[in-house]
Structure 1
Amino acid sequence: MELRQLQYFVQVAKLQHVTKAAEALHVAQSAVSRQIHRLEEELGVRLFMQKGRNVQLTPIGQLFLRRAEAILSDLDRSVMEIQEFLDPEVGEIRLGFPHSLGIHLVPQAVAAFRKLHPNVKFRFRQGMFASLIRDVIEAEVDLAFISPYPDKNENVSGEVVLTEELFAILPESHPLALENSIRLIDLKDENFVLFNSGYSLRMLVVDACKEAGFTPKIAFESEETDTIRGLVAAGMGVSLLPEMALFQTSSMMPASVKVTEPHVTRTIGLIRRAGEKKPAMVVQMFHSFLLEFFKNQYKTR
């Protein structure tokens, strides 16, 4: 079976006329008839039946048409993907990231990249630490921002692009809200508003509190940075959030205070599949751009 036979078959099926199909394909009518006949012989079935001057699909022809169209569609998509792979200016980048980076960092980086390459498309996927690792390994995304950087996972490779400080967030009416800095132990009697289980920021805060000498009392849990900020601002508790999660995005914003003893930070990494030798050119270009972007825009430690 030849690709040309499928193309001729689909065209005849759509137009229900051999001559019109030949004209649309810019070939002789005899060539179309010959290829359709060979296709029917190879399949051992009749795909068309005559209906006046037109032709009409047989029931088995209707079934075969769906399959043939799917094959040609997949082929067209493959050709397009190859063209995009080779041309970084028209490709697509699949980028994963945790929710906390979607407020400021990811939009800022993507916007800066698209100023230079406006035709590049992006497909985003947000997730938690484990799901982002899985998405990278299973090739659901090309690159992913992740925190903390998974330096012991052999299935991914990458680099730390940013080390970010975490700040205590308090209701504006809190007695410590106007301090320049506080020790984490100062919050041992407070209710904490934290991310749900499975989020890396939750474990980071819990571990920091234990290092300070206490286990935090978790009063509220959420999956959204905005919700945590809002609950703290409303006086429901305290929390720790990264600096980039504290940009003004609503009318209800908590006070933020530097934390000492311990100094709490998180690493942000950029990861990809380990051992991948030839990612699409647009992905290579974006990866190089991001490394330079963080080098110029942020302090990388």
Structure 2
Amino acid sequence: MELRQLQYFVKVARKQHVTQAAEELHVAQSAVSRQIHQLEEELGVSLFVQKGRNLQLTPVGKLFLHRAEAVLTELERAVIEVREFLDPEAGEIRIGFPHSLGIYLLPTVVAHFREKHPNVKFRLRQGTYNSLIRDVKNGEIDLAFISPFPDQHEHVSGELLLREEMFAILPQGHVLAEYQSIRLEQLRDESFVMFSEEYSLRNIVLEACAKAGFVPRIGFEGEETDTIRGLVAAGMGVSLLPEMALTEISQLQPAKVRVTDPQVTRSVGLIHRSGEKLPLVAEVFQQFLLEFFCYNQ
């Protein structure tokens, strides 16, 4: 069994398509098919079945995928450790983040860190709350910014970095747009622009509205803060966004109003896999972040 076979198998399993896998691997489709066929012959099982134009893992294929991913992850970590041993300042940090923290927070801390560690590389992965926890648990990333911060979790642990205030955003011509602050209950009859169900900010808004005594009427849904902000600015409804998501100035700019009853906040933390030592360079970055947020609070 060759390493290349495992790499090709995992890529095909993720894409569910040989042609797409070959394009990402920058090899011929026939080469991928041949490696998969040889792997199946060696194992004596079928790893895929054809379903329409796509390939679907067989039950034994799903089992093998789990083990193959673990092998490739451990191999990747071993390569990183060797490189760090030779030159700790030339290592790579694999870090995940939600979109709302990629606008301001992530670029800021990476820029500050690279002032002292200019040769360190970053591999960034954007994801939702559940996908970030899964990627940390599976060892696909070393660290992840996450919101809300999970106080207890079976597979990940970490540190709370900050609590961030969330503001109501309204169209510029809204009757409440010029107010210094409002009660959330004042938006009871408005149409809300909300995040999709897999995004944690949606639950924060729903819980805040429940505290204010109403269920928001959802008119539009989106997956990125820029989309939410743009729809509100265009008059499609109202919403709540964290302060960091409102730092960028754009042509479509909603009004930003403080919410005092109830005050709405979100927790932001940094997580890693429980019970496992971080790569040296990731450990240095983790310590930098704890000091950075302690100093800036």
Determine whether 1:100 maps to 2:100.
yes
Match of 1:171 in 2: 171
- Describe the superposition over 1:45-84 as per-residue Cα deviations: whole angstroms up to 9, x where unpaired: xxxxxxxxxxxxxxxxxxxxxxxxxxxxxxx988853332
Deviation at 1:128, TM superposition (A): 0.5
The residue that corresponds to 1:266 in the other structure is 266
Amino acid in structure 2 at the alignment position of 1:244: M
Alpha carbons of 1:287 and 1:77: their partners in 2 closer, same or farther (altered >3 Å)? closer
Distance 1:124 1:221 in 2: 26
1:146 to 1:79, Cα distance in 2 relative to 1, 3 A: closer
CA deviation profile, 1:112-133 (whole Å, cap 9, x unmatched):
1111111100000111110000
Q: Which residue of 2 aligns with 1:239?
A: 239
The whole-number CA distance in structure 1 between the counterparts of 2:82 and 2:221 is 46
Answering whether residue 119 of structure 2 is matched by residue 119 of structure 1, we say yes
Distance in 2, Cα, partners of 1:161 & 1:134: 20
Percent identity over the alignment is 61
Q: Give the match for residue 289 of structure 1.
A: 288
User: Could you tell me how far apart the structure 1 residues matched to 2:278 and 2:241 are?
Assistant: 34
Structure 1 residue 99 displacement after superposition = 0.5
TM-score after normalising by structure 2: 0.72
Normalising by structure 1, we get a TM-score of: 0.72
Higher alpha-carbon Rg: 1
Deviation string 1:85-139 (CA, Å, 9 cap, x unpaired) is: 3232000000001000000000000011111111100000111110000000000
Give 1:147's aligned residue.
147
Aligned to 1:158: 158
The one-letter amino acid paired with 2:279 is A
RMSD of the alignment, in Å? 1.5
Partner of 2:17: none
Residue 295 (structure 1) shift: 1.2
Deviations 1:174-206 (A, max 9, x none): 010111100000000000001001100001001
How many residue pairs get aligned? The number is: 222
Aligned-residue offset at 1:260: 1.2
Instruction: Provide structure 2 residue ranges, at least 5 long, that are not aligned to the other structure.
Output: 1-74
Contact 1:177 1:257 in 2 (8 A): yes
1:296 Cα shift?
Answer: 1.6
Q: Is the alpha carbon distance of 1:149 and 1:77 closer, same or farther for their aligned partners in structure 2, counting shifts above 3 Å? A: closer
Cα 1:275/1:266, change in 2 over 3 Å: same
Aligned equivalents of 2:79, 2:218: Cα separation in 1: 51
